[in-house]
Structure 1
Amino acid sequence: MFLARLPITMNGILMTLYIVTGLGRGYGAAGLVGGCVTLGMALGAPLLGRCFDRYGLRPVVAVCGIGTTVFWIAAPHLPFEALAVVAVAAGMLSVPAGSLARQVLATLVPPDERRAAYSLDTISIEATFMIGPAAGIAAITAFSPTWTLTALGLLFGATAFLIWLVNPPIREGAGKAEELGPRPPLRSWLTGPLIGTLLIAGGALFVLVGTELATLAALRANGELGVTGLIIAVMCAASIAGGIVHGVVKRSLPQGVLMLLLALLVMPVGLADHPWWLLMLALIPTNLLCAPTLAATTETVARIAPPQVRGEAMGLQDGFTRLGLAVGSPVVGFAIDHSSPEWGFVAAGLGGLVIAAAGLLRRRTPAPTPEPVLAVADQP
C-alpha cells in the first residue's frame, strides 16, 4: 500500500505542471482539472467500497487499475477540454489505496491493536508525501511531460497488479460476503456517531490543506519560498512523531479532543511572521496532532461499521476527507486573497472548529431505534 500511494501523491502536482507548461494554460485551468479528479475520487470512494463489499478485491482492483492506467497514458495526448471532461470519471476509477489499506488492517489486526496499526499506516502516508511529490517534480523536470505522465500511468498499473496478485483479505473469514450474513440496511449503521466521525475526518483535512496553503502564502510574501521543502519535511516529521506516540501509548486522547487541538493550535501560527524558522517551529505543535487525529478517526470507523459494509464505510471516510481537501483550499485561499497569509491560518483553524463542532454534535445523536420484530406466535 505504501507503493500504491506513491503515484497518488504525485498525480496532482504532475497534472498541474503538465497543464501549465505542456498545454500553456493557467493555474486556474489546472486547478479545475485537479478539482474534477478530486471530486471523482470523493464520489467514487464509497461506490468502490460497496463494490469491494459485494464482489471482493480482485475484480474491483482490476477494473480500476486498467481504467487509471489508460487515463494517465492517454492524458498527454488529449486536449485540455477532453481532460476536463474525463477527469471526474478518472478520479472515480482511482484505486482507493487508502480505504483499502484500512480494510485490510481491520481484518488482520485484533481490535485492541488497531490504534497502533492505524498509527503506523498514517505514518506510512506521511512518508509517501515526503517522497512522492518531490520525485514527481524531479521526473517531469528531467524528462518530457509526455514521458512522465506515461510512466505515472504504468506505475498506477503496476501497483494495482501487485495488489491484485497479493489479494490481501478485506473481511473476516474466507472473504465471501454471504458468510457474514445479510447486508444491514443503511440507516442501521450510518448513524450519528459514524456521521460525526466522518465530519471530523473531513475537518482534519480542511485544517491540514488550509495550513499548507497559508504556509506557502506566508513564505511567498516574505520571499522565502526556497525553504518550503524544509518546512514541509519538518511538518511531516512532526506528524510522524505524533503518530508514533499515539500508537505506542496504552491510552490516547479521544478523536474529538485531538481534532479540537489540531484546529486550535494552528490559529496562532500566523503570529510567527518573521523569520521563516520561527514559522517552522510554530507549525510543529499542530502537526504533532495530524497523524493521531487521522488514525483515531479510522479506528472509530472500523469499530462502528459492521464487517458487511466496512468497505463502503471506509469509502465514505475517503470521500469526506477528499471533500475536506476540496473545500479547504478555496475557503482559506479566499481568506488569504482578501486579507493576509496570517489570516489564512486563522481561517484554517476556524473552519476546522466549525466542522469539528458539527461532527461532535452529530456523534451525540442517538441511533434510530429498530422496529420490533414480532415472534411467530405473536402474529395473528
Structure 2
Amino acid sequence: MRSYREVLATPAVRNVLLLGALVRIPFFAGTILLALHVVQTLHGSYAQAGALTTAVTLCIAISGPWRGRLLDRFGLRRTIAPSILVGAACWCIAPFVGYGPLLVLAAVAGLFDIPIFTVVRQAVIAATTEDNRQPALALESVSVDAAFMVGPVIGVAATALGSTRLVLFAVQMCLVLAGILMWLLNPPLRSAASDRVAERAVPRRQWFGPEFIALCVGACAAISVLAASELTLVAAVRTVGAQRWLGLLMAVWGLGSVLGGLIYGALHRSISTYLLLAALGAVTVPLAFANGPVLLGVTGLIAGLFCAPTIAASVSRLSHIVPEGGRGEAIGWHGATMTLGNGIGSSLAGIAIDAGGYPLGFGMSAAVGIGFGLGLAVLVGIVTRRHAGRADSARGHTMASPV
C-alpha cells in the first residue's frame, strides 16, 4: 500500500480525488431522481421517465468532446463558468414545471453539463508522474464506483423525506455549488513542465488514430458489459425470488469492483485494458449459472473485481498516447463512448433477457467482453507491429541515403 500513501501524500492529487468523489455523488443521485420525479410527482409513465433520462444522457455525451476541447483551449474557469450559469438557471425552474418544459430545460442543462469526469481525470493525470499514475487512476475509478453506489441510495432516501421537486432542486444546486467550488480551486489540468512551455491545444489528427479509437471502443464495450450485467442481475434476483437481497447484492458487486481497483493500483506494472476487458467478460460467465442469492453474491463479487481496473487501465493508456494539449477533448470522447455503452448494454440485455432469461443476459454480457477484449487486443497488436515496421523501414532509408 506504499504506492497509495505516496499518492495521497501529494496535496494536489488528494484534493482532486476528494473533490471528484464529492461532486459525483449528487451527479449519480440526479439520474434516478429525474425518473422518480416524472413518475411520482408528474404522474408520468415509465416510458416518459426513460425518454427524459435518455435525452439528458445523450446531451451530456454530446457535450463531452466539445467541453473537453474548450478545456484544452481556454482552461477550466472559462469553460465551466457558462456551465455554472446555465445549470443554475435551468435547475431553478425545471423541478417546478410540467413534463414538456422539464424535458427541454434538462436537455439544455445536459448540453452545458459541467465536465466533472473530464476535469477530475485530466487533473489527476496532470498531478502525477508515470510512476504513481496507475494507483492514482485506480483510486479515481474506485471513487466513481463508490459514488455510483452511494448517490442513488441517497437520492431515493431523500424523496421519502420531502417532495421530489425540492429534492431534485437541492441535488442540482449541489452540483452547481460543486462547479463553483471547482472554479475557485481551479486544479491544474496540465503538468508544470507543460505550463512552462505554454503548450496549446494540439490538432486532433495528432492523436485521433487507430489506438485511440480502439481505446474508446473498448471503453464502450466495458460499460456495455457492466450495464448489461446490472440489469440482468435485477432480472436474476426477481427470477429466483430474492428481491429483498437486491440492494445487498448490488453492494457486494460494487465491493468487488472497489477491491479490484485497489489491487490493480497497487501493482507495479500495467496490464492491457483489452486483456482486462476479456477477463471481465470471462468472470461474468459464472453468474449465468447462479441459481440463488448466495451464488449470485459470490459470483458477483468475483465479477466485480475487473470492473474498476478495466476503466483505470483504459484512462491510463489514454494518458500515454494523447499529448497534454489534447487530453481534455480525448477524455471527453472517451467518456461519450462510455455513455453510449451504457445505453447499448442495457438494450442488449433487455433483448437477451426477454429471449432466454437472465442466463442468456449474463451470457451475452460475457460474450461482449471476451469478444471485444480479444478482438481489440489482436487488432491493436497488428497495427502496432505495422507502425513499428514502417518506422524501421523509414530509418533504414534515412541511414542509406547519401549525405
Using the size of structure 2 for normalisation, the TM-score is: 0.86
Q: Does 1:215 align with 2:266?
A: no
Once residues 259 and 168 of structure 2 are traced to their aligned partners in structure 1, the CA distance between those partners, rounded to angstroms, is 33
Deviation at 1:357, TM superposition (A): 4.8
Q: Letter of the aligned partner of 2:258 in structure 1? A: I
Once residues 154 and 222 of structure 1 are traced to their aligned partners in structure 2, the CA distance between those partners, rounded to angstroms, is 40
Select between 242-251 and 66-75 the one with higher mean Cα deviation.
Answer: 66-75
Q: Letter of the aligned partner of 1:12 in structure 2? A: T
Which 5+ residue runs of structure 2 have no aligned equivalent?
A: 1-19, 395-403
Name the structure 2 match of 1:262: 280
Once residues 17 and 101 of structure 1 are traced to their aligned partners in structure 2, the CA distance between those partners, rounded to angstroms, is 28
Contact 2:279 2:370 in 1 (8 A): no
Identify which of 24, 44, 48 aligns with 1:25: 44
Once residues 69 and 347 of structure 1 are traced to their aligned partners in structure 2, the CA distance between those partners, rounded to angstroms, is 41
Name the structure 2 match of 1:192: 210
CA deviation vs aligned residue, 1:122-180 (integer Å, no higher than 9, x gap) = 11111112211111001112110111011012101111011001000001348869811
Deviation at 1:70, TM superposition (A): 2.8
Select between 70-79 and 152-161 the one with higher mean Cα deviation.
Answer: 70-79
Q: Letter of the aligned partner of 1:258 in structure 2? A: L
Q: Does 1:60 align with 2:60?
A: no
Deviation at 1:317, TM superposition (A): 0.9
Contact 1:61 1:164 in 2 (8 A): yes
Name the structure 2 match of 1:46: 65
Q: Letter of the aligned partner of 1:94 in structure 2? A: D
Cα distance change of structure 1 residues 169 and 43 upon mapping to structure 2, 3 Å threshold: same
Once residues 205 and 309 of structure 2 are traced to their aligned partners in structure 1, the CA distance between those partners, rounded to angstroms, is 29
Using the size of structure 1 for normalisation, the TM-score is: 0.92
Identity %: 31
Q: Letter of the aligned partner of 1:39 in structure 2? A: L
Deviation at 1:313, TM superposition (A): 0.6
Once residues 298 and 350 of structure 1 are traced to their aligned partners in structure 2, the CA distance between those partners, rounded to angstroms, is 23
Deviation at 1:79, TM superposition (A): 1.9
Name the structure 2 match of 1:13: 32
CA deviation vs aligned residue, 1:171-206 (integer Å, no higher than 9, x gap) = 13488698115x433222111111111111111110
Name the structure 2 match of 1:161: 180
Name the structure 1 match of 2:296: 279
Contact 1:53 1:177 in 2 (8 A): no
Once residues 232 and 366 of structure 2 are traced to their aligned partners in structure 1, the CA distance between those partners, rounded to angstroms, is 11
Q: Letter of the aligned partner of 1:85 in structure 2? A: V
Select between 88-97 and 357-366 the one with higher mean Cα deviation.
Answer: 357-366
Contact 2:223 2:342 in 1 (8 A): yes
Which 5+ residue runs of structure 1 have no aligned equivalent?
A: 373-380
Deviation at 1:254, TM superposition (A): 1.6
Cα distance change of structure 1 residues 310 and 94 upon mapping to structure 2, 3 Å threshold: same
Contact 2:280 2:370 in 1 (8 A): no
Contact 2:222 2:277 in 1 (8 A): yes
Q: Does 1:324 align with 2:341?
A: yes
Cα distance change of structure 1 residues 53 and 11 upon mapping to structure 2, 3 Å threshold: same
Cα distance change of structure 1 residues 33 and 338 upon mapping to structure 2, 3 Å threshold: same
| 1:72-151 correspondence runs (5 A) | 72-151=91-170
Q: Does 1:243 align with 2:261?
A: yes
CA deviation vs aligned residue, 1:300-357 (integer Å, no higher than 9, x gap) = 0111111111100111111111010011111111111222122111122223334435
Q: Does 1:205 align with 2:246?
A: no
Name the structure 2 match of 1:377: none
Cα distance change of structure 1 residues 108 and 127 upon mapping to structure 2, 3 Å threshold: same
Q: Letter of the aligned partner of 2:362 in structure 1? A: F
Local SS of the residue matching 1:169: coil
Local SS of the residue matching 1:142: coil
CA deviation vs aligned residue, 1:99-136 (integer Å, no higher than 9, x gap) = 21110011110112111100011111111122111110
Once residues 153 and 133 of structure 1 are traced to their aligned partners in structure 2, the CA distance between those partners, rounded to angstroms, is 14
Select between 72-81 and 240-249 the one with higher mean Cα deviation.
Answer: 72-81
Q: Does 1:232 align with 2:250?
A: yes
Once residues 245 and 218 of structure 1 are traced to their aligned partners in structure 2, the CA distance between those partners, rounded to angstroms, is 28
CA deviation vs aligned residue, 1:208-228 (integer Å, no higher than 9, x gap) = 111110000111223322111
Deviation at 1:26, TM superposition (A): 1.7
Q: Letter of the aligned partner of 1:131 in structure 2? A: V
Deviation at 1:66, TM superposition (A): 2.3
Name the structure 2 match of 1:180: 199
Select between 197-206 and 71-80 the one with higher mean Cα deviation.
Answer: 71-80
Name the structure 1 match of 2:89: 70
Name the structure 2 match of 1:376: none
Q: Does 1:291 align with 2:315?
A: no
Once residues 90 and 353 of structure 1 are traced to their aligned partners in structure 2, the CA distance between those partners, rounded to angstroms, is 37
Once residues 175 and 11 of structure 1 are traced to their aligned partners in structure 2, the CA distance between those partners, rounded to angstroms, is 36
